[in-house]
Amino acid sequence: MNPPPAMGGRGLVAGAVTAATEWLVEPLEVVPEPARRTRDRPVVAVVGLGPRSGATTVARALATELAIRDASGACAVTARAGSVLCLGTAAAGRLARSLASAGHSRTCGRLCLIDPPDRLALAGTAPGLAPLVFDEGDPRDAAVVAALADRVVLVGGPRVEPALAGVVAASLARVGPRPLVVACRPAEDSGWTGRVDIAIPHSRLGAQWAIAGRQPAGDFGRAVVALADLMERWE
């Protein structure tokens, strides 16, 4: 499958539904089993609804908040292997060493960024040590991480048609928990009203802190805290 094309805020609903067919989950037999099990700590799948939707920013901001709330003081986040310039905390360093066999890892603030060859194995190992967040930007893999997760968060940005969120959420709910919908930097007339659970305002500094595994402040940070709170009571 190819990712759905990005759409402007004025895109037709029919166009969004057409694009969403590219997001519909694969047949259930491709989803790893056992998909979910009782865990000490949460596993969260953050899925972007389109290019530059802000999914990585939300994934790391949420992961940082989960790290703060967890006794380990750290959180594992999937990310492609690469260099990271920011320093990690001691807790993140301990987690990276503990997960060294699960894939290439490095620290970033409170986060342990890991590129796992086997996501099912990581979902079985990491929650015994710290919370785990899958940062998923590829719609072809969205069903797999949704099936592995205790919570699913869909992230839409300014270039995403809001109607797409409901279609994708209904699709992924077939194999995982009912997703929460987050809108990043929504404009007042963008059409997200009534379609979103949490709106995260524009903040370049907040996004920079989130990417670096630090707790963002201001309205951006408060929105992330509200998202974490909502996840705890989401059914």
Close Cβ partners of 74 (under 8 Å, ≥ 6 residues apart): 67, 89, 91, 92, 94, 95, 110, 111, 112, 130
> Do 208 and 194 contact (CB within 8 A), yes or no?
no
The pLDDT score that the predictor gives to residue 22 is 52
User: How far is it, in rounded angstroms, from Cα 23 to Cα 13?
Assistant: 15
Task: Provide the pLDDT for residue 33.
Answer: 46
Cβ within 8 Å of residue 227, ≥6 positions away: 58, 62, 65, 153, 180, 182, 197, 198, 200
Q: Where are the alpha helices (DSSP H) in the chain?
A: 13-20, 55-69, 90-98, 119-125, 142-148, 163-172, 204-211, 218-233
> Is the separation of the CB atoms in 106 and 113 below 8 Å?
yes
Domain 43-233 part of CATH 3.40.50.300: yes
21 has a pLDDT exceeding 70: no
Q: Is the peptide bond before 3 cis (omega within 30 degrees of 0)?
A: no
Mean of pLDDT over the chain? 84
- Residue 214 binned pLDDT confidence (cut-offs 50, 70, 90): very high
148 vs 176: CA distance, rounded Å:
7
Burial of 230 (0-12, 13-18, 19+ CB in 10 A): middle
pLDDT tens, position by position, 94-149:
999 999 999 999 999 999 999 999 999 999 999 999 999 999 987 667 898 999 99
Q: pLDDT at position 191, please?
A: 82
* pTM, two decimal places: 0.85
Q: Domain ranges for the chain, please list them.
A: 43-233
Going from the C-alpha of 1 to that of each of 54, 139, 143, 155, 164, the distances in angstroms are 21, 8, 12, 19, 16
Looking at the chain, the whole-number percentage of residues with pLDDT higher than 90 is 61
Q: Across residues 53-80, what is the average pLDDT?
A: 96
Residue 26 has a pLDDT of 54
